[in-house]
Amino acid sequence: MYIFDTTLRDGEQSPGATMTHDEKLEIAELLEDMGVDIIEAGFPIASEGDFAAVRDIANRSKNAVICGLARAQVPDLERCWEAIKGAPRPRIHTFIGTSPLHRAIPNLSQDEMADRIFETVSHARNLCDNVQWSPMDATRTEWDYLCRVVEIAIKAGATTINIPDTVGYTAPVESAELIRRLIQTVPGADEVIFSTHCHNDLGMATANALAAVEGGARQIECTINGLGERAGNTALEEVVMALKTRGDIMPFETGIDSKKIMHISRRVSTVSGFAVQYNKAIVGKNAFAHESGIHQDGVLKNAETFEIMKPEDVGLATNSLPLGKHSGRAALRDKLRQLGTEVGDNQLKDIFVRFKDLADRKKEVYDEDILALVTDAMTDGAEHLEIVSLKVTCGTGGPAEATLEMEVGGEEMSATEHGDGPVDATFKAVRALYPNKARLQLYQVHAVTEGTDAQATVSVRLEEDGKIATGQSADTDTVYASAKAYVNALNRLHVRRSKTGSDVKEISYKDVS
């Protein structure tokens, strides 16, 4: 079974989930390391930033097929090929909307669209010997027409036929039957790989993907944490662990090293700014937690009474013994390795300083605290905006007051502002020192661990002139973490502004596949 990951393309299309160039390279490396067969690295013609990311991922790849997305247009296809041609195993993925609703957008008749499909798939095949074709909104395309265009794409040279449920409309019984009938009906279907790409609008993406496998699909398109348009895509961790756990009824194997799932899940959550819900299957904080007395008693006597998977199978540490202020650097490095994180000596030195500071403020430092420290260390650096100090006064007697000292482009400045609360006052102080028109789209706080001394992880999403950036930070001081997250997001916007939009998508590709 081939696993096709589109976190860097469809996942990044989630509003606010835009990743930096370096983050995309990091996630691609983690995907390849865990055994993903095909990585859809992006949409090269969308922007210079997307092109550069796909090109660099392709040039650095070793084993995975590196795929770029292209509309059914010659400039798209050639731009895509330019980006991926440096990969040892490149693939062009081209698509066009085939349902009546999507055909109406370019105002093409069935015959005109059929001609375009043949021409563009043929052109793609002349550029690259590995071509995937998708009839966007396939599940709402007329059956006879779907068969016709799939046959055309195969004759034109497509080697993989992907059947997208673009708007999450289908149900498992339909998903299986659609793939089965296409394989049985379309001439040449036995010579290509059929793929499934499901969205989660009705909460059935994973079920629909697995049903398609039952129907004959041998490639599953998915994303880490189910990230993606609207309600998201099929979650990689869910289909991989479903196939692994229920091999008795789904006898298909993947090449995924499941023990690396938790690490990449946490990294994607961090770089995208999209927190994983506590009750999310496989990777949620409560996925292996038991509170009911009956459940706890059963698990203590025999874990299989209430656990169908072992926590360590997805990369969770078998124990979560906390470190403390007396723990040394070797213990910290060992803990990081247990958590799937390798750091260099300089990074370890920085994280260790932060760890000691946190240990002085907390009685016990848990795994989640360590991971939050790593994230903070990786996001800090030489930035246009850097917080020097923050002092906040608040209470019931009047408005909150925030006094902020911050470096702006290397120049230290200070401001005092009042607000409805400490966070409001702090954000006003930031804006006083760095005037901007960024609109706050999301402000989210959640505790990393339990207890009143827990670190707070804060996510902030800003929008300015169509550009979206997410910042994240963690600290035991919620207001300080909020300020750092806000400043991190502003730094990202500043970088994009100074690069004249190189990381900003220049064309609309909503609801692609």
- Whole-model pTM: value is 0.83
- Asked if pLDDT for residue 371 goes beyond 70, the answer is yes
Q: Which residue segment(s) compose the domain that 333 sits in?
A: 317-379
The three-class DSSP label of residue 92 is: strand
Please indicate whether residue 135 or residue 309 has the higher confidence score (pLDDT).
Answer: 135
Give the CATH number for residue 407.
3.30.160.270
Buried b or exposed e, range 465-499, using 16+ CB within 10 angstroms: eebbbbbbbbbbebbbbbbbbbbbbbbbbbbbeee
Q: Are residues 341 and 479 in the same domain?
A: no
Q: Are residues 242 and 330 in the same domain?
A: no
Q: Residues 458-495: pLDDT tens digits?
A: 989 899 988 888 888 889 999 999 999 999 999 988 87
- Do 215 and 104 belong together in one domain? yes
> Distance between CA 192 and CA 130 in Å, rounded?
11
Q: Is residue 26 part of a domain?
A: yes
Domain end residue (candidates: 379, 403, 424): 379
Residues 374 and 389 in one domain: no
What are 171-195's pLDDT values in tens digits? 999 999 999 999 999 999 999 999 9
Span of 17-21, 118-122, 244-248, 400-404 with lowest mean pLDDT: 17-21
Same domain, residue pair 357 and 437: no
**Structural domain total, the chain:** 3
pLDDT at residue 423 is higher than 70: yes
CA–CA dist 367, 375 (Å, integer):
13
Q: In what order do the strands lie in the sheet with 439-447?
A: 439-447, 456-464, 467-475
Q: Is residue 291 part of a domain?
A: no
* Residue 228 DSSP SS3: coil
- Based on the fold, state whether residues 25 and 117 are members of the same structural domain: yes
396 falls in which pLDDT band (50, 70, 90)?
Answer: confident
Say yes or no: 102 and 247 in one domain.
yes
Structure tokens at 512: 């692609």
Flag whether 509 is in a domain.
no
Q: What is the pLDDT of residue 247?
A: 95
Residues 44 and 182 in one domain: yes
Give the model confidence (pLDDT) of 439-460 as tens digits.
999 898 988 877 788 888 898 9
User: What's the confidence (pLDDT) of residue 503?
Assistant: 42
106 occurs within a structural domain: yes
Regarding whether 369 and 244 lie in a shared domain, the answer is: no
Higher pLDDT, 511 or 303: 303
User: What confidence tens digit (pLDDT) does each residue in 196-251 have?
Assistant: 999 999 999 999 999 999 999 999 999 999 999 999 999 999 999 999 999 999 99
Structure-model confidence comparison of residues 331 and 171, the more confident one: 171
247 & 104 share domain: yes
Same domain, 24 and 62: yes
Residue that finishes a domain, picked among 326, 347, 379: 379
Q: Is residue 162 part of a domain?
A: yes
The one-letter amino acid code at 171 reads: A
- State whether 465 and 341 are in the same domain: no
Phi–psi pair at 69, nearest 5 degrees: -95, 145
Binding-site residues for Mn(2+), please? 10, 197, 199, 233
- Give all strands of the β-sheet with 400-408 in edge-to-edge order: 385-393, 400-408, 411-419
The CATH number of residue 188's host domain is 3.20.20.70
Residues that constitute the known binding site: 10, 197, 199, 233
What pLDDT was estimated at residue 2? Answer: 98
Q: What percent of the chain has pLDDT over 70?
A: 91
